[in-house]
């Protein structure tokens, strides 16, 4: 079965790398939102897929581009993945050719190995599979086997020498053409592999043997084109779940997957190559030029319809890729580009070649074993003869029925193919929409987390610092949720299938320009000075008001303490003026006398009671009379004792009150001492506050004087920078205008060349001598203009790198000053002047970037038209020997005059 389809093209835009950022490079490529469109300068290109820089993430390259090719490989189709681009654009990284066994790069080749052996595990019960790998490189227009045991031994014996040196000791492989027109390599090593680890070991061994080197643009530059080929032979057994031949026999398929990592195109001046590196670069560019010519020939619809010549034999690279480009293969081209504006010319050329490659049409067929194919043809012929035999025997009804059945079968097969293709398209669209839904879910969860963080009072800096970890966690959770949902759906389907007792069939598969380089320096400087003066005056007044209010508060506190102290001292004076010590002695003596008198009376009472008890109790009158006298006297004495006791209690009460008065006096004395101590402290605080204010005022006045001095110095620096920026602005404007004029003139010359070439070709007898001389003069002027544009392009690139370094240095000084790691010296620029200088330089960088992209576009067009009209085509107009002599004389005169 034959399948005609165009080459699919994907563009992979790598991020800016550190050297480009240090040189001030900006992004010159814009990707249309949700569209596979790329804009650079005034050019717009549309591809099948765009990755990086706002397009799909680079991790999706395998799923979108390569996974369908692996699926086609198992169906018997040849497939090719081709990485194309300038040096340092990330081709080897994208392809994963530098695989070392423990590489976690996730390039195309490691993912292919993983996918192939996963499919092998699922189909091993119904098919017999055999996998072989080969690994070659095209180095200096010679084909070498990277899996050759001899080259590996040489590499091990001399590990200190690069692979390019050992390549001189290896025997090159010859390219042979089969009888059917296919391309084979005589004697190439094809190693049989059974596990992913074994295949990875061959890839790693070949990667170590590959020629690499260091240039100014890439420290690990590939110096050869590498092709890693995976050959899959599968025997689909009759009765298995896989498809078989029409007669139920075995179907043997043999398909190849070519994974091509091309060396990058390079310019000797930019790479700094010389000697051996220069020769390697020449061979690399020669092969890529031949590849570009093949792509142009195949992508030109007019030439393709006319059956024009395709120069496959111009290089060994194009001969090996003959089937991949316009032949029996399903091909995907990954164009790797750099977004830096200094690489705009190379990037534009790569995008143009990739755009042409989309027009290449391949005719892929299922590759069956030749013997099996012959047997199928013979069986088909036998079946046809048997059908005719039935017809001639007279059983025309059976024959008509058979023809109807065959027609129905063919219709059903065609419908099946259409449905299968539609299913594949729907599956790709479903994966795309699932990915978009996944990204939307992650973005939604991230916004929800940001909203929650803001509600919780977190700052934006804290939210940004935790954003990467939170996004990673959200991605992991969303992936886990999708995986669990898929498993749940699968289980539900199985349950539904078991309940209904049937099974369903499973399907496989440009920078803005700003003319304002300095923002109204005089007015802004004056306004800033006025604002600073007003701010300083307000700050001084606030400080003085604060000091006065504090002094008033302290004075009020001091007056309050004086008032309280006077009151306490007056009260203490009243206590001390009352003769408290004499009064105390009087009260103590009085209490003592009363106590003695009380005791005497009590002794007398006791005596009377004793006498009263000793009187006899007889009836005598004398005794009775004596007893009454004693009782009367005893009552009198008891009355006196009770009176004395009351007096004693009164005196004790007075003594307690006196003790309380003494305690109050002591407490009052302590409080007086505390108030005096507070008064002293407050007076010291008032004195200290006054001294601090005087010191602050003196330092402030000194600081104001220094600021005024610094302001005068800054004003001088500002005027100096204004003059420098104005000068650079005028120079940049002049150079930009000159570059515009040169590029405009170059464009006019190229358009005139194209028009004159058409007029010349339309002539019958050819142009005259005068017309040829004008054409030669025009060609010379075009070449001179191209040289001028390229020189100006290189000069502006160098100037832009210088400005970028200055911006980086000024920003570094800002950071160091902000972190207080260095001090401002006399020759150091002030912060305001430094920021103004950075702003002016950034505007000049933006203007320079726009000019560079414009010139790169013109240089790319000039190079393309030189390829079409230059070389041998330049002299096609010379038809006679006389014309040649006239042109030679004219060129000699021009050279003599110029010298």
Binding-site annotation: residue ranges for ATP: 85-92
Q: Which of 776, 774, 799 is nearest to 852 (CA)?
A: 799
* 58 vs 658: CA distance, rounded Å: 100
Taking CA 621 as the corner, what is the angle to CA 620 and CA 627, rounded to the nearest 5 degrees?
95
151 to 138, 140, 173: CA distances (angstroms) = 15, 17, 13
Strand 127-139 to 191-193 pairing = antiparallel
CB 235 within 8 A of CB 250: yes
Q: Which of 337, 333, 335, 334 is nearest to 30 (CA)?
A: 337
Q: Which residues pair with 173 in a beta bridge?
A: 143
HEC string for 72-96: HHHCCCCEEEEEEEECCCCHHHHHC
Q: List, in sequence order, the alpha helices (H) in 578-620.
A: 580-614
Helix, strand, coil percent content, the chain, rounded in steps of 5:
65, 10, 20
Residue 171, phi then psi, degrees to nearest 5 = -85, 130
Identify the helix (H) or strand (E) that includes residue 522. Answer: helix 521-577
Cα pseudo-dihedral 718, 720, 723, 725, rounded to 10: -70
* 551 vs 560: CA distance, rounded Å: 14
Sheet containing strand 29-31, strands side by side: 29-31, 37-40, 43-46
Identify the helix (H) or strand (E) that includes residue 647. Answer: helix 621-762
- How many C-beta atoms surround the C-beta of residue 565 within 10 A? 17
3-state secondary structure of 614: helix
Residues comprising the chain, all counted: 899
3-state secondary structure of 517: coil
* 447 vs 444: CA distance, rounded Å: 5
Q: Which residues pair with 128 in a beta bridge?
A: 235
HEC string for 546-584: HHHHHHHHHHHHHHHHHHHHHHHHHHHHHHHHCCHHHHH
Tokens 């050297």 sit at which residue?
19
Q: Which of 316, 193, 180 is nearest to 260 (CA)?
A: 316
462 to 449, 452, 815, 873: CA distances (angstroms) = 12, 13, 21, 65
CB 50 within 8 A of CB 228: no
Q: Which of 207, 328, 362, 326 is nearest to 256 (CA)?
A: 328
Six-digit token string for 655: 């003594």
- How many C-beta atoms surround the C-beta of residue 707 within 10 A? 15
Residues flagged as binding site = 85-92
Q: How far is CA 228 from the centre of its chain?
A: 30
* 750 vs 841: CA distance, rounded Å: 34
3-state secondary structure of 255: strand
3-state secondary structure of 230: strand
* 368 vs 232: CA distance, rounded Å: 11
3-state secondary structure of 421: helix
The number of C-alpha atoms within 13 Å of 575 and in the hemisphere containing its C-beta is 18
* 332 vs 324: CA distance, rounded Å: 9
Q: Dihedral sign, CA of 562, 568, 570, 573?
A: negative
């Amino acid at each position: 079965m034959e399948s005609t389809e165009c080459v699919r093209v994907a563009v992979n835009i790598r991020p800016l790398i550190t050297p480009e950022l240090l040189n001030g490079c900006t992004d010159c490529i814009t990707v249309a939102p949700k569209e596979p469109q790329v804009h650079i300068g005034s050019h717009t290109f549309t591809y099948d897929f765009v990755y990086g820089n706002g397009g799909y993430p680079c991790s999706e390259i395998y799923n979108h581009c390569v996974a369908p090719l692996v699926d086609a490989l198992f169906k018997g189709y040849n497939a090719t993945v081709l990485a194309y681009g300038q040096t340092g654009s990330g081709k080897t990284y994208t392809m994963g050719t530098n695989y070392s066994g423990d590489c976690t790069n996730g390039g195309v080749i490691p993912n292919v190995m993983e996918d192939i052996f996963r499919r092998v595990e699922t189909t091993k019960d119904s098919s017999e599979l055999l996998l072989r790998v080969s690994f070659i490189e095209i180095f200096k227009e010679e084909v070498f086997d990277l899996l050759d045991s001899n080259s590996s031994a040489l590499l091990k014996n001399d590990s200190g020498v690069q692979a390019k040196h050992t390549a001189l000791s290896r025997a090159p492989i010859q390219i042979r053409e089969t009888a059917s027109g296919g391309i084979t390599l005589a004697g190439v090593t094809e190693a049989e592999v059974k596990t992913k680890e074994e295949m990875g070991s061959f890839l790693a061994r070949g990667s170590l043997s590959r020629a690499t080197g260091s240039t100014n643009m890439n420290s690990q530059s590939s110096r050869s084109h590498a092709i890693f080929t995976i050959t899959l032979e599968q025997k689909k057994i009759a009765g298995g779940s896989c498809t078989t031949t029409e007669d139920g026999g075995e179907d043997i398929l043999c398909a190849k997957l070519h994974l091509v990592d091309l060396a990058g195109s390079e310019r000797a001046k930019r790479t700094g190559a010389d000697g051996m590196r220069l020769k390697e670069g020449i061979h690399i560019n020669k092969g890529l030029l031949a590849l570009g010519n093949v792509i142009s020939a195949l992508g030109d619809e007019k030439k393709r319809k006319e059956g024009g010549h395709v120069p496959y034999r111009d290089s060994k690279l194009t001969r090996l890729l003959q089937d991949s480009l316009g032949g029996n293969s399903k091909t995907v081209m990954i164009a790797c580009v750099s977004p830096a504006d200094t690489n705009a010319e190379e990037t534009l050329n790569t995008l143009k070649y990739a755009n042409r490659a989309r027009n290449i049409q391949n005719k892929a067929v299922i590759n069956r074993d030749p013997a099996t194919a012959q047997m199928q043809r013979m069986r088909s012929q036998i079946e046809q003869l048997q059908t005719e035999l039935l017809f001639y025997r007279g059983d025309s009804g059976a024959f008509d029925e058979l023809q109807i059945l065959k027609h129905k079968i063919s219709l059903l097969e065609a419908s099946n193919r259409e449905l299968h293709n539609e299913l594949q398209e729907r599956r790709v669209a479903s994966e795309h929409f699932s990915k978009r839904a996944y990204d939307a879910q992650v973005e939604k969860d991230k916004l929800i987390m940001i909203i929650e963080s803001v509600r919780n009072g977190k700052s934006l800096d804290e939210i940004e610092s935790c954003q990467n970890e939170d996004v990673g966690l959200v991605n992991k959770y969303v992936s886990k949720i999708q995986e669990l949902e898929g498993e749940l759906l699968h289980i539900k389907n199985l349950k539904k299938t078991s309940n209904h007792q049937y099974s369903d069939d499973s399907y496989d598969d440009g920078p803005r320009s700003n003319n304002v380089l300095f923002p109204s320096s005089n007015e802004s400087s004056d306004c800033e000075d006025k604002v600073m003066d007003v701010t300083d005056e307000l700050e001084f007044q606030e400080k003085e008001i604060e000091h006065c209010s504090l002094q008033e508060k302290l004075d009020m506190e001091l007056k309050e303490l004086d008032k309280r102290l006077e009151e306490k001292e007056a009260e203490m004076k009243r206590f001390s003026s009352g003769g408290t010590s004499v009064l105390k002695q009087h009260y103590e003596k009085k209490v003592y006398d009363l106590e003695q008198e009380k005791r005497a009376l009590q002794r007398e009472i006791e005596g009377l009671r004793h006498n009263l008890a000793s009187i006899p109790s007889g009836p005598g009158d004398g005794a009775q009379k004596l007893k009454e006298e004693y009782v009367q006297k005893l009552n009198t004495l008891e009355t006196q004792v009770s009176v004395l006791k009351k007096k004693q209690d009164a005196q004790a009460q007075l003594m307690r009150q006196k003790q309380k008065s003494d305690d109050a006096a002591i407490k009052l004395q302590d409080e007086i001492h505390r108030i005096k101590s507070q008064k002293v402290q407050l007076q010291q605080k008032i004195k200290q506050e006054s001294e601090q204010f005087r010191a602050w005022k003196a330092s402030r006045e000194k600081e104001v004087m220094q600021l005024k001095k610094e302001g005068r110095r800054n004003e001088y620096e500002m005027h100096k920078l204004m003059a420098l920026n104005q000068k650079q602005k005028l120079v940049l404007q002049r150079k930009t205008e000159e570059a515009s004029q040169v590029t405009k003139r170059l464009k006019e010359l190229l358009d005139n060349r194209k028009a004159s070439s058409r007029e010349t070709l339309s002539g019958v007898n050819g142009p005259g001598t005068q017309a040829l001389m004008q054409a030669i003069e025009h060609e010379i002027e075009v070449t001179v203009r191209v040289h001028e544009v390229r020189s100006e392009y290189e000069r502006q690139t160098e100037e832009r790198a210088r400005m970028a370094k200055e911006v980086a240095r000024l920003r570094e000084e800002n950071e160091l000053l902000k972190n207080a790691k260095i001090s401002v010296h006399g020759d150091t620029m002030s912060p305001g002047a430094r920021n103004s200088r950075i702003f002016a330089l950034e505007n000049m960088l933006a203007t320079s970037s726009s000019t560079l992209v414009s010139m790169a576009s013109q240089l790319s067009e000039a190079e393309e038209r030189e390829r079409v009209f230059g070389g041998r085509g330049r002299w096609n107009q010379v038809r006679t020997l006389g014309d040649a002599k006239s042109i030679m004389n004219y060129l000699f005169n021009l050279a003599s005059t110029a010298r």
